[in-house]
Amino acid sequence: MKVARYIGNGKVEIIDEPAPSCPEGGLLIQTQASGLCSGELMSWYMDRKIPHVLGHEVAGIVTESQDEKFKVGDLVFPHHHAPCLQCEECNAGHYVHCDQWRRTKLVPGGLVETFGVPKENLTDTLVVNDLRPQDAALIEPLACVMKSLRKAPPSPESNAVIGLGVMGLMHLLILGPTAIGYDLNPSRIEWAEKLGLNARHPDEKVPADTVYVCPGSQGAFDLAASLVRPEGTILLFAPLGPSQDLKLSQDLYFRDIKVFHSYSCGPNDTLAAANAIREGRLKAEQVISNFINIDQLPTAYEEMKAGKILKPMVLFGA
């Protein structure tokens, strides 16, 4: 089968490898749709994972099942990390800090023609027969947004989103008319405006009660700090690079600004994301610029990394 492997230095290769067998107690999946995550573009993060199979934004058809809750022929969304639902962290709702969550993964990954879902991952695997595969594949990234909005509940009046990449667009789509999105890239502003979203250059700032910072950069945080009203909230959605430390101005102290972080998501967030998609609040065409086949992925990877395209998604059989 064809597998998308990250080989280092910002490069991806499509390699032929044997298909996996069904994990004991788990599922074997024929991939239908798989997106490329912006986090998989960060060389400092990816280079330490070599060799690594790309892909975790995925949906596919069950071809073999060793769990009666999932039937052959079901369309499913499996999260690549899944908690045990029994430990102290899980009981507190801190799913991403569960030891099982950290060690679980899809076999060998999601940007492949066939993959396995281990038994442990079934605690965060959903049957989504009522969704299109390309929409179901967006449950994981949207779930990260749903957690972000849960950690820092939006203001009923004024919110801002820094960065209009895919994750920023998802924030704006869920927030609706109470939010303004900011980006330096005119093409991203134009994309957002075509979706009917309020998007503008940072030179046109409007104060906001809650600000969601999608890029992992000091500059993006500083923009948020200049936007947020006294007693307001800033939510950091992405990390800075490994050699960078976030600098907080003393001004935040004197204005009583709250700063939160939001890392990945748990089963409660994936369920909320699936329901939001069912309600029509997100469709793949709103955030996917390029629907491609797997052989086109290496080029699309470089183009997304260079900011030439918004986001590719591989449709298997395309």
H/E element, 278: helix 267-278
Q: State which amino acid sits at residue 175.
A: L
**pTM of the shown model:** 0.96
The residue-averaged pLDDT of 247-272 equals 97
Q: Give me the chain's average pLDDT, please.
A: 96
The pLDDT score that the predictor gives to residue 108 is 97
Of residues 46 and 118, more confidently modeled:
118
pLDDT at 284 over 80: yes
CA distance 47 to 51: 8
Q: What is the percentage of the chain residues whose pLDDT exceeds 90?
A: 92
CA distance 296 to 271: 31
Residue indicated by tokens 């049957």: 127
Sign of torsion over alpha carbons 75, 77, 82, 88: negative
Per-residue pLDDT tens digits for 51-70: 889 999 999 999 999 999 99
Residue length of the chain: 318
Residue 208: strand pairing partners: 228
Given its phi and psi angles, is residue 176 left (phi above 0), alpha (psi -120 to 50 degrees) or beta? Answer: left
Tokens encoding 121: 């991952």
For 70, how many CA atoms within 13 A lie in the half-sphere containing its CB? Answer: 29
pLDDT at 45 over 80: no
The residue-averaged pLDDT of 96-121 equals 98
The residue-averaged pLDDT of 112-123 equals 98
Residue 209 contacts residue 232 (beta carbons within 8 Å):
yes
CA distance 77 to 93: 21
pLDDT at 201 over 80: yes
Per-residue pLDDT tens digits for 82-100: 999 999 999 999 999 999 9
Q: What is the percentage of the chain residues whose pLDDT exceeds 70?
A: 100
**Could you tell me the domains of the chain?**
2-143+264-315 (3.90.180.10), 153-261 (3.40.50.720)
CA distance 90 to 53: 28
The pLDDT score that the predictor gives to residue 318 is 62
Tokens encoding 145: 């947004």
Residue 173 contacts residue 282 (beta carbons within 8 Å):
yes
The residue-averaged pLDDT of 95-111 equals 97
Residue 163 contacts residue 236 (beta carbons within 8 Å):
no
Per-residue pLDDT tens digits for 139-173: 999 999 999 999 999 999 999 999 999 999 999 99
The pLDDT score that the predictor gives to residue 44 is 73
CA distance 207 to 231: 12
For β-strands 11-16 and 2-8, DSSP reports them as: antiparallel
